[in-house]
């Protein structure tokens, strides 16, 4: 038997920050409209999205097609994280003034700390480092193609594309609803900040995103960015030492005035989820160990479709998570229900 003295440092937590910006909403809108595979799984209907795209100008349509081919929305998101921009004009000035090497560095995807030297060298035009990055992410859906594109594209044309697509999407789609969306984003951030006061970092992330995100090596900060356009999806990204979640605003954030007698939608979902005998049995079984749908079906003596329906309701309420084929109960599944109930009854 080997004796092991563990003197390594294992991170137990992370800091959580919230940001909201119409600029993130603009770029996420571009990402959404250029990813048709998800158009039947969004709050907006596929028919509405098809109508939006068909009524955009020919010039913007061409820029969106270019974005769809090269995933330039991802590059734009990374540029937005370079600093806190207050307007598109400020963002455009930043893009225009960036030296070529710095622009390439910022738009190359962050893979992990082991690839940062290759990222720097690839931004300086080193082909071997570019190939090392491509090899390191060869299983990713689009990073290899994106890295190759960044290494070979005309940066002057790319800068122009960044400005044309964001300006076009803002003018033709976002501007007319900017005030309403900004209010929604601000309400959601305030709502989350009020709820977060007595929560653990992991509980905060779970409540906002539905993701049970445990501390991991190299991540010291989680950045939560509310978004309206991509509801109900949460978009996840990595930056240096930071995990980013662009999470969907809650239902109660959509309306400016709220009835003090109308309970928060998330609270209702959570109470409905646990207010059923079979769902409580499922949670009890999953609190003991993670189990598959097949295992739960056998243990409960219920049909597969019925068990899957119960699991879907529990997942929507954040009471159950799934990893591959296995379901389990997050550590903080029931955390905060009492404080949500207290907050509702204290409304004036």
φ/ψ of 97, rounded to 5, equals -85, -15
pLDDT in tens, 245-283: 999 998 778 877 667 787 877 788 889 889 999 999 999
In what order do the strands lie in the sheet containing 235-239?
A: 15-18, 221-227, 242-248, 235-239
Query: Quick one: pLDDT band at residue 1, thresholds 50, 70, 90?
Result: very low
Rounded to the nearest integer, the mean pLDDT of the chain is 90
Query: Quick one: pLDDT band at residue 339, thresholds 50, 70, 90?
Result: confident
27 neighbors 233 (Cβ within 8 angstroms): no
Instruction: Report the relative pairing of strands 235-239 and 242-248 from DSSP bridges.
Output: antiparallel
List 18's β-bridge partners, or say none.
Answer: 224
Boundaries of every domain in the chain: 56-175, 181-253, 265-346
Choice among 10-14, 82-86, 118-122, 216-220 with the minimum mean pLDDT: 10-14
Query: Quick one: pLDDT band at residue 5, thresholds 50, 70, 90?
Result: low
pLDDT at 347 over 80: no
pLDDT in tens, 162-185: 999 999 999 999 999 999 999 999
162 neighbors 76 (Cβ within 8 angstroms): yes
Cα–Cα distances (Å) from 121 to 116, 192, 331, in that order, read 9, 40, 42
Per CATH, is 265-346 categorized as 1.10.10.10? yes
From CA 243, how far away is CA 188, in angstroms rounded? 20
DSSP letter assigned to residue 171: I
The whole-number pLDDT of residue 243 equals 96
- Any alpha helices (H) in 11-87, and if so which ranges? 22-33, 46-54, 58-70, 72-80
């Amino acid at each position: 038997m080997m004796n092991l003295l563990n003197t390594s440092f294992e991170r137990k937590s992370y800091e959580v920050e919230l940001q909201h910006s119409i600029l993130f909403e603009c770029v996420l809108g571009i990402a959404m409209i250029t990813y048709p595979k998800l158009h039947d799984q969004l709050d907006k209907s596929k028919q509405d999205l098809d109508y939006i795209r068909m009524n955009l100008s020919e010039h913007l349509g061409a820029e969106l097609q270019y974005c769809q081919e090269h995933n330039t929305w991802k590059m734009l998101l990374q540029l937005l994280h370079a600093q806190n921009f207050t307007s598109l004009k400020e963002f455009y000035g930043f893009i225009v003034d960036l030296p070529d090497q710095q622009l390439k560095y910022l738009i190359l995807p962050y893979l992990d700390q082991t690839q940062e030297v290759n990222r720097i060298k690839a931004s300086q035009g080193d082909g071997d480092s570019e190939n090392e990055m491509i090899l390191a992410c060869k299983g990713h859906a689009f990073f290899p193609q994106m890295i190759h594109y960044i290494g070979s594209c005309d940066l002057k044309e790319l800068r122009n594309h960044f400005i044309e697509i964001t300006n076009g999407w803002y003018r033709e789609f976002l501007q007319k609803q900017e005030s309403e969306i900004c209010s929604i984003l601000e309400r959601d951030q305030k709502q989350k900040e009020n709820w977060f006061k007595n929560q653990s970092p992991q509980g905060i992330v779970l409540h906002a995103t539905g993701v049970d995100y445990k501390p991991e090596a190299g991540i010291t900060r989680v950045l939560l960015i509310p978004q309206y356009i991509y509801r109900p999806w949460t978009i996840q990204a990595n930056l240096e030492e930071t995990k980013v979640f662009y999470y969907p605003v809650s239902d109660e954030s959509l309306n400016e005035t709220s009835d003090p007698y109308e309970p928060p939608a998330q609270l209702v979902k959570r109470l409905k989820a646990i207010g059923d005998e079979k769902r409580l049995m499922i949670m009890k079984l999953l609190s003991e160990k993670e189990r598959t749908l097949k295992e739960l079906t056998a243990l409960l003596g219920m049909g597969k479709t019925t068990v899957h329906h119960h699991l879907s309701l529990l997942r929507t309420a954040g009471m159950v998570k799934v990893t591959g084929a296995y379901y389990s109960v997050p550590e903080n599944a029931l955390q905060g229900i009492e404080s949500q109930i207290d907050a509702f009854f204290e409304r004036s």
